[in-house]
Amino acid sequence: MRHRLLIALAAGALTAAAAAEAQAPRRGAGPAAGPPPGAPAAEAEIWPFPPPDPKSWWEDKWPPAPEAADPLGGRRLGRGERLAAIDNGVDASTYRLWGLMPLQWQVLRGNETVIEVWVRPSGSVRQSVARVTVRRDGDAFVSARAGLACCEAGIARRVGFDRKLPAGSAQSFLALRDHPLWNAPREVRVDEGGGAAEAVCVDGTSYDLTLLVPGRSRSVRRACDSAEIGEAADVLEAVLGAALGHEPRIDVIYGKGASFASQRRMHQDLLQNGGRLKPDPNTRAQPPGFEPAPVAEDAAPGL
């Protein structure tokens, strides 16, 4: 009996030693085995963990988006409230493709404000967008995205971030609500006066700017000509400046920073020399309910 017990203990010890040796890394052994050949990308990414239960994928609660990604999230329209009509050429599906909450769904109250800028170079498919949201509690947030908007089903190489801005940032953006840009024509052409021929733009960058406040929005485009872009310099510097310094892959797009001083100077020179920015006759129609700025008496027709 004792002899059989010793044999059993010895066999158990050998089995445990063999198991330990199998689990311990061997000197000179290759890397750990990866996922099985042909494994779906979703399973390969979480290997060696098991894939989620198919039913729980659809039924379990997921964590909400971070506050900075959706500062106005979780709201419902109250009695008498209405969503603003967004007419900046970006539909809700495009916003979702870029990973941004659509402006069409935003419910703003009080003095809340959203200012958004799309940057589109004419000679490149690399686009970027920056958005600043000011909430009624005084907090301000910035979101930005950049990517290649061409030739693939999604936005290629898309990068982005959502951040809360430092305390006290809101006031500078609230002041931009009353900027003259929002009462200017949607699209313009440079008229240098004196019968000079209009410049033809063949290469440059377009900036689509949108102001969203409770119940209404306003969108303008400034493109190509420096004097034209200079009219929007204050807004561009504020929004794009807030978007820099968070993501190096976005910062590198703006090698010269967010300064539009030269464009602002060109716009000022245009006005001082008798020129103006006149409405582009080929611009698309204004959204329903838009009220144009009153015409100054000295600029009224027939005077």
Tell me the pLDDT tens digit for each residue of 204-263: 899 999 999 999 999 999 998 999 999 999 999 999 999 999 999 999 999 889 999 999
Residue 186's pLDDT is 94
Distance of CA 196 to the CA centre of its chain: 39
Q: Compute the mean pLDDT over every residue in the chain, rounded to the nearest whole number.
A: 83
State the DSSP H helix or E strand holding residue 121, giving kind and residue range, or none if neither: strand 113-121
* Domain coverage including residue 101: 82-286
Give the residue among 253, 249, 207, 208 at the shortest CA–CA distance from 226. Answer: 207
Does 71 fall in a domain? Answer: no
3-class state of residue 19 by DSSP: helix
Does 2 fall in a domain? Answer: no
Give ∠ CA 100-123-151 in degrees, rounded to 5: 55
Residue 242's pLDDT is 98
Six token digits for residue 302 = 């027939």
Does 60 fall in a domain? Answer: no
**149, pLDDT greater than 70:** yes
Residue 281's pLDDT is 85
Residue 124: pLDDT band by 50, 70, 90 thresholds? confident
Does 66 fall in a domain? Answer: no
8 Å CB contact between 127 and 118: yes
Question: Exposed, middle or buried: residue 194 (CB in 10 Å: 0-12, 13-18, 19+)?
Answer: exposed
- Neighbouring C-beta atoms of residue 204, cutoff 10 Å: 16
- Helices (H) then strands (E): counts for the chain: 9, 8
Tell me the pLDDT tens digit for each residue of 9-53: 444 444 444 444 444 444 444 455 678 888 777 777 777 777 778
Does 145 fall in a domain? Answer: yes
8 Å CB contact between 210 and 103: yes
Q: Which of 119-123, 162-166, 238-242 has the lowest mean pLDDT?
A: 119-123
Does 57 fall in a domain? Answer: no
Total domain count for the chain?
Answer: 1
Amino acid, res. 145: R
The strand pair at 126-134 and 113-121 is best described as: antiparallel
State the DSSP H helix or E strand holding residue 278, giving kind and residue range, or none if neither: strand 276-279
Does 254 fall in a domain? Answer: yes
Does 199 fall in a domain? Answer: yes
Give the residue among 89, 134, 107 at the shortest CA–CA distance from 283. Answer: 89
Distance of CA 24 to the CA centre of its chain: 48
